Amino acid sequence: MTSEDDPFHDCELDPEATLGTHTFKDVLFTDETETPVNVLTGETPAHSQATVEEAKEFAASIDTETPQIALPASVESQVETQSKPYTAAAFFHFKATGSLERHRAYHAAYESDAFAVDFEADYESGDLTITVERADES
């Protein structure tokens, strides 16, 4: 197998680093996600008011083959761009997994036929759980 055929050829982490179940705590958009408050009125601007259901629907509406999750948007971006308090990203996005190295490794595993990758997004707790197994073991 050439390095071009190896899905992990440009990854800093090897496939073993992704195997098993990993839970990333408090990374998803939740009802507790911080939103800006107008200091004059004490109210949250209309553009920053959203429910978890809206965020999940938005993430599901993204036209891509890779499943999307709803991540919290920073207060700064909400204020600067008058955007919603959430954004959508691939379930293995570095903002969820904590590092670009993990992002690349999960992406490689997801794209590879040699691995079975599953995830659970718990929007109540904000936790994301990713499970990776070798395809011949699943």
Render pLDDT for 67-116 as a digit per residue (tens, 0 to 9).
Answer: 999 999 999 989 898 889 999 999 999 999 999 999 999 999 999 999 99
Looking at residue 138, its pLDDT comes to: 59
Q: Are 70 and 56 in contact (CB under 8 A)?
A: yes
Q: Give the predicted TM-score (pTM) of the model.
A: 0.88
- Residue 66, pLDDT above cutoff 90: yes
What was the pLDDT predicted at 122?
97
pLDDT band for position 1 (50/70/90)? very low
pLDDT digits (tens, 9 = 90+) for 22-31: 999 999 999 9
pLDDT-derived band at 36, boundaries 50, 70, 90:
confident
Average pLDDT estimate for 27-36: 92
Q: By the 8 A CB rule, do 78 and 48 touch? A: yes
Please report, rounded to a whole number, the percentage of residues in the chain having pLDDT higher than 90: 67
Q: How far is CA 117 from CA 20, 32, 47, 85, 113, in A?
A: 10, 28, 35, 28, 10
* Cα–Cα dist 10/14, whole Å: 10
Mean per-residue pLDDT of the chain: 91
Beta-carbon contacts of 102 under 8 Å, excluding residues fewer than 6 positions away, are 13, 17, 18, 92, 94
